[in-house]
Chain A
Amino acid sequence: MTHITDYLLEILYLIAAVSFIVGLKLMSNPQTARGGNLVSAGGMLVAIVGTFFLYTGHHGHVGREAIKIECIVAAILCGGAIGWITAKKVKMTAMPQLVSLFNGMGGACAALIGIREMHHYFGNFAAEGTIMTSIIIGGVSFSGSMVAFLKLSGILKKPIRLPHYNLINNSWALAMIAAGVLAVLSAVHGHGLLGNAALLAAFAYGILFSVPIGGADMPVVISLLNSCTGLAAASGGFLFHNQVMITGGILVGSAGTLLTVVMCKAMNRSLTSVIFGAFGEGASVHGASEARAKGPITEMSVADAAVLMNYSKKISIVPGYGLAVAQAQHIIHELEVLLTQKGVDVSYAIHPVAGRMPGHMNVLLAEASVEYDKLVEMDDANSGFNSTDVALVVGANDVVNPAANNDPSSPIFGMPILEVEKAAHTLIIKRSMNSGYAGIENELFYSPKTSMLFGDAKNVLTRLVEELKNL
């Protein structure tokens, strides 16, 4: 009987593993993405239910005393309820920090599994090796993700950079790994103290690793920590000889790593510059004084801008981080609807890294009920700017900076941008002449085809809507 249940469980694990793979594949296409997520969820359910009923452990028997069953069921109900409600109720714009939060939960889970199992496997070198790996990687992932959560929630605002922080971090990382190795050797001899110390060292490293990183780079870090948690899960899988944990964990570790690299490329930043130092800090100081040297900028009144837009045939709205900061997504939707009623063709040009992470603008505009087919991807938008009468740039800066194409010395050179300078006229809504995340000057502001509308995005857009209603 035991063999049959064991085999059945292994088959269920196989089904789950395949569902993860198929699910991820489906998630790489917008049409099938939502279904892909459900496929993976289904597989996960199969694996969980299977384990609950059929798991018999290494020795062919595991006691299913009532208290254990109650413990598991209660815990799943608790965690499930909290997870469900939190994920459903939180604002769309808070989604990225939730990803980080839940990632941290997974990391903590893997680390604590290691702490618990450490005592059961004293003397076993290979087992203690996987245990320490889970403890360290899980621990780093937990605290690193918690810091990322605090940063994205705005609770931790500025990156905290101790002097020589790279040296400190790298030294600590080496020390932590050394502690891990010693912990393995110590556990082989029956002592668990170093294992607990390694956990604390890992928690500390996660914090040290995450605090110096700027808010805009957080998504890359979250993706990296995501793949770390996958590896921690796989490590647990090696310990328990659990095929679904191994496959799921390695899949996420591998896919997550590649995704991190791809996200960096889209931002035209290298992974090393994200982790070991941002560019652009201090440059905004130069930026302000350079502004006067570049020539005059043209300001336009809201009334004139309204007239210009009213008589346009085609307008392209370019949203940026400023739109999110001003929480002006609802009023911009109102503007879009109003202009469309007046017969103007309005669309939104979305740069892949506009805002603070890939998809940020999409989420923001979706929250304002902007229809998905009004959003135009960068390449399509670029071929359309030639026939666009007005490009309305709201709170975006680096993504429309021509220096990326023209100036080889610029830090953003090579980054693909939205070529709004091809439009007949560009209107830029900004609070001031301050630089964007890259901390550099934007020559677009000085172009004769560009007019500035200074003010808070929500404020300016509200006044534009009022003016348009009178026309």
Chain B
Amino acid sequence: MEHIIDFLGKNVLMIYIVVLSIIIGIEVIGKVPSILHTPLMSGANAIHGVVLIGAIIVVLGSDPGKIVEMCIGFIIVVLGTLNVVGGFVVTDRMLEMFKKKKTNTKT
């Protein structure tokens, strides 16, 4: 029990952030029209591309002399970039069609 309280106490700020992030995630998705389900899924996909930051950190922390480490690091950054760039571009394409065009249809 003491260990638990100790852990919670030392990390309470992080816990605030996690809990608040969870609540915000839920709130933001609240009233989404079904037409936006797929684009939103794609948008969220792009955001978790933030894992690219971790990939960059890995490479920066690698040993420049070890070629294998560098190669693997390269692959990891490529993967993360694919997620980010691919994700945002796909989302943008899906959302492109949401712009209303001016037409001559009778009102």
Contact = CB atoms under 8 A, between A and B. Distances in A.
B46 A250 contact: no
Interface residues of B, number: 80
A247 B91 contact: no
Contacts of A219: 37-38, 41
A83 B84 contact: yes
Q: Is the interface of B mostly helix, strand, loop or mixed?
A: helix
Interface in A1-53: 16, 20-21, 23-25, 27-31, 33-34, 36-38, 40-41, 44, 47-48, 51-52
B81 A88 contact: no
B35 A359 contact: yes
A266 B60 contact: no
A117 B28 contact: no
B8 to A, nearest CB: 14
Interface residues of A, number: 114
A340 B105 CA distance: 9
A173 interface: no
Contacts of A83: 81-87, 89
Interface string B46-89: 11111111111111111010000110111111111111111111
B44 interface: yes
Contacts of B64: 63, 65, 67-68
A105 B17 contact: no
Contacts of A317: none
A210 interface: no
Contacts of A82: 78, 82, 86
Contact of A23 (B29, B47, B94): B47
Nearest to B88: A41
B86 A105 contact: yes
Interface in B9-64: 14, 17-18, 21-26, 28-62, 64
B100 interface: yes
B44 A266 contact: no
B61 A62 contact: yes
A192 to B, nearest CB: 14
A232 B35 CA distance: 28
B35 A113 contact: no
B81 A27 contact: no
A333 to B, nearest CB: 13
Contacts of A96: 38
B6 interface: no
A160 interface: no
A24 B92 contact: no
A116 B41 contact: no
Contact of A250 (B22, B84, B85, B101): B22
Nearest to A56: B60
A98 interface: yes
Contacts of B30: 28
B47 to A, nearest CB: 5
B97 A363 contact: yes
A112 B82 contact: no
Given A48-B84, A55-B60, A353-B34, 5 more contacts: A109-B52, A116-B69, A116-B76, A226-B44, A239-B54
Interface of B: 14, 17-18, 21-26, 28-62, 64, 69-70, 72-101, 103, 105-106
A-B pairs, 10 with minimum CB distance: A254-B25, A79-B81, A83-B85, A75-B77, A83-B86, A352-B34, A87-B89, A106-B83, A366-B97, A248-B50
7 contacts: A23-B43, A24-B43, A25-B28, A108-B79, A116-B58, A258-B29, A373-B100
